[in-house]
Structure 1
Amino acid sequence: MSLVLDHLAAHRDRLGLGRHGADGRLSAVWLTPRFRASSHTVALVFGAGGAAPVLVAKVPRLPDAPAALAREAANIERLAGARLAGVTGIPELVAFERFRGWPILVQTALDGRAWDRARVRQDPDAAAAAGVAWVTGLQRATRASAPAGPEDFDRLAVGPLAVLRAAAGDDGEIARLVDRTLALAAPLRSAPLPLAMEHGDFSAPNVMRLRDGGLGVVDWELAEPRGWPVCDAFFWLTYVAFCRAGRPAAADPVAAWTPAFWGPAPWGRPHVLGAAEAMGIERAWLTPLLALTWARYLAGIVLRLGDTAGGGAAVDGATVAWLAAHRYCQLWRAAVDGAGALDWAGGPATHGRRPPAPVKERSRWLAWR
């Protein structure tokens, strides 16, 4: 903890800490994220006598592993343009530099609290609408001038799926899902999809309800500046679905998730269609984007764990088992196997297929982020 406070004290004037409320004698509370693939620790920094943090500092677990923090710093800098376009609730970059051999990322703290499950359950419809509206506004503000091309499909679909295939080794089920997803996503290779900033992990605790009533979004480590549209909306609506279901979602996330997107009147469909219309994308592209949302997130976990080098080596069996039991792997399977039953136009499910059925082995659903 002294590393962060010593850095801030040594560079207080140069970094202009006073304008961020970091006055007087600073103090900090150190947090260690429990997520298995997390690569850093976090310090909440308080000004003299302050009850709320004014800065957030991140330090990698190893001094020679700054890549994740470098990505986050670069993404926060890129988001300055979004702030100028009227998007609020984004932290500002204060510093990203080495101190005593350690890389340190410092950014402003947002004044609010995580939009946790209890708060979402108070009004899940309002939560769903607010989250989708915020991320859609961000993507409209950061939309690239040119649409996606084949090279973007390779980067955003083929590459992550190759990572999963290499990580899976002899796991035939993951290989099957990779093949099915590639087939499902093939039309996207030539689709003129808009590219925009994509957060990549758009759920609590990264989404906050600010004191002024707006939304705040933190943790831009996984963000993709030229990412795909609507995937963050899928991510947020999935979180809302878990909140609506309550405790049973831990035992059976697919059953909690299915009502959002499948059936004659899924509650999440109007939100998805609104985001799609705002970004000008065709409804036929939504189903492969839903499947790729989870495949790409899982590939990101593999890369963050450091078990593969560019998708060229299989991870150990324990990691493969953990990935296969991960709730997002179950959602990936459900999206792929239930693709024919997704109906974005409204009305009854098409092709005579049924929504994905939950797996009955409860023990397989106990892996959470």
Structure 2
Amino acid sequence: MTTVVEGRAADLLRVTLREHVGAGPHRLVVVGLSRDEHPKATVLVFGPAGSGPRLVLKVAMVPGAVPAVLAEAAALTGVAQVAPDLVRGTVPRVLDYRQESGSAVLVTSVVPGVPMSVDYHRWRHTARPGVVRDDLTSAVGWLEELGRVPVPEATTRRAAQPGSSCDPDGVAARVRARWPDDEVADAVGEAARQLAGSLALPPGAPRTMVHGDFWCGNVLRTGGQVTGVVDWEHAQPGGDALRDVSRFVLAYLLYLDRHTAAGRQVSGHPGLVAGSWGEPVRYAAAGAGWLGQTVQAVVGGHLRRTGRDPRAWRGALAVAAAEAAGTADEPAFARRHLLLAAELIPCC
């Protein structure tokens, strides 16, 4: 562990472990290590040999990671206050969090399940229509359950203010700020602003809790059912669940050709040939094959259930790509999303 978590972060981790599980021998397994400039480590704490994990700790490894750890603690505490049943089921419970000497540690309960990403990368998993449909519908179904969590009216008003991530102008502002004086960024930002405005919730529709980093690596399942959702540092109350729905579908599509050699057809998807980055997204956005029909049904279905035009499903994917361009940590990854959004927008 000392080779991963060092210095003040390691000192705080040792103190926290002693207080929660005693001084005996413990097995610690790092299951997540962010690669951005403000890294965080997610650590499972196991008890005696053969027993399952007892606690989850998220550790800020540098001072710049402290706000993210504290933000996750605040988000989980907020969910627990308004929806304790949901917390006791699929959302981790906050047991402790502390900040000291340029580090922070969040201690939570363990939620059961295996990340959906494990199944996603199994041989031919994404080649089967029923399996892909179940992946998408189970995730969106959980998001719609989260959407029933009550959000205080004052929080909703703050979230809708200009510049927030729920504001249609917010996506455009982040894209333009990242690439000033860039014609592509200007065009994508303006188009995304208009699309986001057209996709806004109808007047009077309730706003919801938004997870903010909802992808298959953060969704845990047992027997095909969602039994846990983790990594809440980007959560925001008073938002629009469409952000999570469209970002989840976009991320799911992006890696469908990951295990296929360039120039070869992706198994189970007639006409989809592995090649340039984002090809499965272009394929689905064109409505091609059973994949395009499934994406249309899932995203369009959510739009319909929330009082919007289901035909705008492509626009939701385009806005998701633009939002990712503005928020992704890695510059090259962000630029790829920007160019993908530029391709998707004319199709909307």
Aligned ranges 1:51-90 → 2 under 5 Å: 51-63=51-63, 65-80=65-80, 81-84=82-85, 88-90=89-91
Could you tell me which runs of 5 or more consecutive residues in structure 2 were left unpaired when the two chains were aligned: 2-9, 261-265, 267-273
- Equivalents in 1 of 2:65, 2:13: separation in Å? 21
Corresponding position of 2:293: 266
Corresponding position of 1:278: 305
Question: Is 1:335 equivalent to 2:338 in the alignment?
Answer: no
Q: Which has the higher contact order (CA 8 A, sep 6+)?
A: 1
- Equivalents in 2 of 1:213, 1:23: separation in Å? 36
Aligned ranges 1:1-369 → 2 under 5 Å: 1=1, 2-3=10-11, 5-12=13-20, 25-30=25-30, 33-36=33-36, 39-63=39-63, 65-80=65-80, 81-84=82-85, 88-99=89-100, 102-116=103-117, 117-119=120-122, 120-121=125-126, 123-142=131-150, 151-152=160-161, 154-155=163-164, 156=166, 157-187=168-198, 191-192=202-203, 194-210=206-222, 213-242=225-254, 244-248=256-260, 251-263=275-287, 266-283=293-310, 288-301=315-328, 319=331, 323-325=334-336, 328-339=337-348
Could you tell me which runs of 5 or more consecutive residues in structure 1 were left unpaired when the two chains were aligned: 306-318, 340-369
Q: Which AA in structure 1 matches 2:296?
A: R
Q: Which AA in structure 2 matches 1:177?
A: V
**Conservation of the 8 A alpha-carbon contact between 1:40 and 1:61:** yes
What TM-score does the superposition give when structure 1 sets the normalisation length?
0.71
Shift of 1:273: 3.1
SS at the partner of 1:54? strand
Shift of 1:222: 1.4
> Does the C-alpha gap of structure 1 residues 30 and 118 become closer, same or farther in structure 2, counting only changes over 3 Å?
closer
- Equivalents in 1 of 2:50, 2:99: separation in Å? 27
- Equivalents in 2 of 1:262, 1:91: separation in Å? 38
**Residues 174-204 of structure 1, C-alpha deviation per residue, up to 9 Å, x if partnerless?**
1221122223334467952532111122112
**Conservation of the 8 A alpha-carbon contact between 1:242 and 1:256:** yes
Shift of 1:254: 3.3
Shift of 1:134: 0.9
SS at the partner of 1:215? strand
- Equivalents in 2 of 1:159, 1:50: separation in Å? 49
Corresponding position of 1:344: none
Shift of 1:322: 5.2
